[in-house]
Chains A and B, each alone.
Chain A
Amino acid sequence: MTAARCIAITGLETFEGRGLAERLLEDPSSPRIVALDVRLPSELEGRVGYHPLDLSEAEAGPRLAEVLEKEGCETVVHAAFLPRPTPDRERAHELEVAGSLRVMGAVASAGVSKLVVISTAQVYGARADNPAYLSEEHPLRPPESARALRDRAQVESLLRMFSERHPQIATLSLRPCWVVGPGYESAALCHLSAPRVRLPLGFDPLVQFLHEDDWLDALVLALRRNVRGAFNLAGRGTLPLSTLLRLAGRRVRKLPHPLLSPATSLRWRGRTGEPAAAFYAYLRHGWLVDTARARAELGFRPLYSTREAWLSRFVGQRLRKYA
C-alpha cells in the first residue's frame, strides 16, 4: 500500500469529484489535490490546486499531461461524466468518450501510476437473461437506445484495452448501482421519487441502492488500496421495487410497458434525449450486482442497507421541507 502524494481529480462539478475532494480534505494526512475542470466549485476555492481544463477540447490531452507532470501526480480520478443523459449527445460523447481517451493518453505519458474511472453498474444492462447477481466479468450490454450508457460501456472497453497495453498503470473502474442520498440527484432517482411513479405493469424487479456516503468511502478505499480492475458496489441486501416505493409513500401507476414508454416519452426525451424505454428496462428486469470482489479486495463494507440508503433520501427531504 503506497500513499500517493498528489491526486488529480477531473470533474469537480460532479458529486463524485467534489465529494471525494471534500472527503480527502477532511483528513490532514491525505495527499495534495489537483482539481481539473472548466470551473471550480466555490467551496473548494483556495483549498485545492486548480487548473482550468475542458476535456471536450482537442488540446485537453497534452495540457492535462503537462499539469500532471508539473504537479507530480501519482493518481488520477476521472470523474468528468455527466450525471444524467442530456439531449446534446454530440457534446456528451465528446466529453465522455473522447475526454476519457484524452485522460488515458495523458496518464500514459505523464508517468501516473493509478487511474480510477467512475463508471456505473447500469452498463451491464437490465436484461431478462441476466443472472440474479452480475459479476465483474459479465459482458456489458446496455440498452440499444440508451446512448449515454453505451458511451459509458465504450469507456469501459477502452479502459480495459488501455490497462492491457499499460500493465504498469493500475486502472480501476468503479461500478456502483443506483446511488442515493440526500445530496445525490440522478434521472432514475428523479423518476422514482416523483409523487406518482409510473411503473411497468406485471414487473417488480429486485433493486439495490448505494448510499452516497458508502460510495465516497469506496472511492477513498479505491485510492488507498493497491488493487486494479472493475469493482461492483451496492448497499447491503436487496428489496423489490414495490416495497421501496411503499416505504417512501410513493403512489404507483402501472401501465403495460409498451404503453408506458409513449406515455412518458416526450417528457423523458426532452430532458435526456433518449427514449424512455431505455430507462424502463431497468424497472422490469433485475440487474443486481455481486459485490464480493469489492468486499474482498477493496475492503468495502457498506454502512447502509438498500432500505436505509433509499429512505435516507426521503428523510432528508422531509427535514428540508420543515426546516
Chain B
Amino acid sequence: MSDLQELIASVGALRRTLEGRGEKAPRTPPAAENSAEASASVDPSSAIFSRLSNVDPARWLARLRERLPFPVPADVSREVDAFGLDPPYLERARPLLDFLFDRWWRVHVSGLDRVPDSARMLLVANRSGILPYDGLMLAHAVERGHRAQRRPRLLAADKLMSGPFAQPMLRRLGAVRACRENAARLFDEGEWLSLFPEGGRGALKPYRQRYRLQRFECGEILSLALRRRAPIVPVAIVGGEEIHPVALRPEKLERLLGTALPLAPTLLLGPGALVPLPSQWRIRFGSPLEVGDLDPASAEDPLTANRLSERVRAAVGELLEDELERRDSVW
C-alpha cells in the first residue's frame, strides 16, 4: 500500500516539474477508479497516436505466421521425441505435403496391400531428385494408404543431415541420419524405416542416367534388418528424377571446389529452382524380400551382407523398370 502512495506522490512530483518547465504534462497512468473519466477527456488526435503506438509489427508477423498453411523455420517446437520429431510441426506441414502428393505430383500408389503389418520394417527405395521429396512422399503414401497408418521414418544421407537449413527441418519431419546405431535404436523402438541406399550418388546423378540404380551403400543397415528379422520391402519411386533435372556434373570443377555441383537448367530461374517440377509420380511397393536362405545370425558376414544387398538392389531395379514401363507420360 505504501508503495502505491509513493508511486502516486512521485508521479505528482514529476508532473509539477514538467509543468514548471512549460511542457505538456504526461498523462497519468489510468488507475482503475478514474479510467472512465480519463478516456472521456482524451482528445481524438492523441487517441489516434496512442492507438498507433500500440501497433506491434512483431506480433502481427507472429499472427500471420501462425495462419500460414505451411511451417516456417521460426516456429519453435514444444516437445520433440528422442530423435527430434516434432508432431505439431508435422501437422502443420501436412496440408503442404497433401498438396504435393495429390495435386502437384498426382502420386499413384500401388502394391501397398502386399506390405505386411509387422512391428518393424525396412522400406528400401531408389533415390532421386536433389532434395528428399521422395522420402517425404513415400512416408506420406504409407501413412495414408496402409492399414497400419504408420509413418516410416526417413533414414537420410549424411550430406542432408549435416548441412545447414535442411537438417533442422528434416529432423522435425522425422528424418534421422542413416547410420547403424540410429537404425538399431529405431528398430528397438519398433519403428518403420525407409532407406535410400544409393544416397547422394542417386540424388545427384545427371538426367541421362535417370532411373539407373547406383551402387548401394548402407549395407550394414540392410544386414541389421536381416538380423532383427524386420521385413525388407523394395519400393520403386518413379517421377522423382524429373523434379530437379541435373544436366551436368562438372567433375573437374567439383574436384577443384570440393563440393558436389549439380547444374540444373532450372537454376536459371534463381530461387525458383527450389520449386520442384510437377512431374507425374508412381510409387510401387513390392512383396517383402525372401530371405529364408540367409542366416540372420551371420548377417554381419560380408558375404551374406553382399548377397542381401544385391538381392535388394535387384528387387528394387525390377520394380523400377516395371513401373517405368507403366508410366505413360512424364508430366
Contacts and interface: CB of A to CB of B under 8 A. Distances in A.
Interface string B167-195: 11001000011011110010000000000
Given A129-B158, A239-B80, A242-B76, A201 B164 contact: yes
A129 to B, nearest CB: 6
A238 B80 contact: yes
Given A201-B164, A204-B168, A132 B83 contact: yes
Q: Interface SS of chain A: helix, strand, loop or mixed?
A: loop
Interface string A167-206: 0000000000000000000000000000000001111101
B288 to A, nearest CB: 27
A70 B76 CA distance: 58
A128 B168 contact: no
Interface in B142-174: 158, 161-165, 167-168, 171
A240 interface: yes
A243 B89 CA distance: 13
Contact of A240 (B80, B82, B176, B182): B80
Nearest to B184: A131
B181 A131 contact: yes
B87 interface: no
Contacts of B167: 202-204
A310 to B, nearest CB: 14
B182 A131 contact: yes
Given A240-B77, A246-B76, A203 B168 contact: yes
A203 B164 contact: yes
A135 interface: yes
A322 to B, nearest CB: 14
A202 B165 contact: yes
Given A129-B158, A243-B78, A200 B164 contact: yes
B219 interface: no
Nearest to A307: B79
Interface in B71-90: 76-80, 82-84
Contact of B162 (A238, A240, A285): A285
Interface string A232-260: 00000111101100100000000011000
Given A133-B185, A203-B167, A240-B168, A128 B161 contact: yes
A62 B164 CA distance: 52
A256 B163 CA distance: 12
Interface residues of A, number: 22
A184 B177 CA distance: 33
A249 to B, nearest CB: 12
B87 to A, nearest CB: 14
Contacts of B79: 239
Nearest to A204: B168
Contact of A129 (B76, B83, B162): B162
Contacts of B165: 202
A311 to B, nearest CB: 14
Given A128-B161, A132-B176, A201-B164, A243 B76 contact: yes
A240 B76 CA distance: 9
A200 B164 CA distance: 9
Interface string A56-93: 00000000000000000000000000000000000000
Given A203-B168, A238-B82, A240-B77, A132 B182 contact: yes
Contacts of B182: 131-133
A285 B168 CA distance: 10
B184 to A, nearest CB: 9
Contact of A202 (B82, B158, B168): B168
A238 to B, nearest CB: 7
A17 to B, nearest CB: 33
Contacts of B162: 128-129, 285
B84 A131 contact: no
Interface in A129-174: 129, 131-133, 135
A129 B160 CA distance: 11
Contacts of B80: 206, 238-240, 243
A133 B83 CA distance: 9
A239 B167 CA distance: 15
A287 to B, nearest CB: 13
A242 B78 CA distance: 10
A285 B158 CA distance: 12
B305 to A, nearest CB: 19
Contacts of B163: 202
Contacts of A201: 164
A204 B163 CA distance: 11
A256 B164 CA distance: 9
B84 A133 contact: no
Nearest to B166: A202
Given A206-B80, A240-B168, A132 B185 contact: yes
A131 B179 contact: yes
Interface in B177-222: 177, 179-182, 185
Interface of A: 128-129, 131-133, 135, 200-204, 206, 237-240, 242-243, 246, 256-257, 285
Interface of B: 76-80, 82-84, 158, 161-165, 167-168, 171, 176-177, 179-182, 185
9 contacts: A129-B158, A129-B177, A200-B164, A202-B167, A203-B167, A239-B79, A240-B84, A243-B76, A285-B162
What 3 A-B pairs come out closest when comparing CB atoms?
Answer: A202-B164, A128-B162, A131-B181
